[in-house]
Amino acid sequence: MDIINLSTQNSILSQYLAEIRNKDIQADRLRFRRNIERIGEIMAYEISKAFRYQPTEIQTPLGTATVQVPQDKVVIATILRAGLPFHHGFLNYFDHAENAFVSAYRLYKDPQHFDIHIEYIASPKIDGKTLVLVDPMLATGSSMELSYHALKTKGVPACTHIASIIASQPAIEHIRKTFPSASTHVWCAAIDPAIDNHSYIIPGLGDAGDLAYGEKE
């Protein structure tokens, strides 16, 4: 299993990551959503390098050009609700992709213990396709695991790219244990060391869904 931590490379991605972490800049919801979208665009570009390509002849006004065109049939799958601007960033680049959505939420037993529930799924068939499963925060990995199994009711993908802006190290270890090793690739803008007693990433950035769309009851 490949674990790609894009923060090990210097790029403009670091600027957008710094802004979504900054508690003062976070107050601007529009900027927060746009920065998540931008990070999705950058990660889509990086993931596209792993696709299969085929030379294709294109007729121009002045002649014929040979261009390498991606062959993967892509399905972008997002965990609601924080994943929506992230999804949009991927769709800006993978504009021919099909789309899937999963509603996964925490049902708390008490302030420190919860179960993950899947309430809704809308997905095309994914047999033999390239699944790009996106969620901006990968705290425990449990939501990602359950969403993946829910999506597998629609078929078995040829490969899976898990994309997260900030992942915790415990979540990375959970993904290693629960996803197919040979066909899974994990992409992160940053990997933080720990989660707290409420399963929030430390230092993380807080609740991405609330920051993007407002607090929920």
**Taking CA 93 as the corner, what is the angle to CA 91 and CA 99, rounded to the nearest 5 degrees?**
25
pLDDT tens string 159-179 = 999 999 999 999 999 999 999
Residue 148 lies in a domain: yes
Strands 194-195 and 201-202: antiparallel
Residue 183, domain extent: 2-52+72-213
Residue 59 lies in a domain: no
Separation CA 113–CA 198 (nearest Å): 8
Distance CA 118, CA 135 (A): 15
Domain harbouring 133, CATH code: 3.40.50.2020
| Amino acid 199: pLDDT | 86
User: What is the per-residue pLDDT for 101?
Assistant: 95
Q: Per the structure block, which two tokens stand in for 168?
A: 């915790």
Q: Please count the structural domains in the chain.
A: 1
Q: What pLDDT score was predicted for residue 104?
A: 73
The answer to whether residue 67 sits within a structural domain is no
Cis peptide, bond prior to residue 81, ω within 30 of zero: yes
pLDDT attached to residue 198: 84
Structure confidence at residue 217 (pLDDT): 72
201 in a domain, yes or no? yes
pLDDT at 49: 97
**CA-based radius of gyration for the chain:** 18
pLDDT at residue 80 in the model? 85
Does 174 reside within a domain?
A: yes
Distance CA(11)–CA(9), nearest Å, equals 6
SS3 at position 70: strand
pLDDT in tens, 75-99: 999 988 889 999 999 999 999 999 9
Distance of alpha carbon 103 from alpha carbon 118, whole angstroms? 6
Domain-embedded: residue 13: yes
Q: Is residue 58 part of a domain?
A: no
Six-digit token pair at 137? 């925060």
End-to-end CA distance of the chain: 38
Q: Which residues of the chain have pLDDT under 50?
A: none
> Is 180 a domain residue?
yes
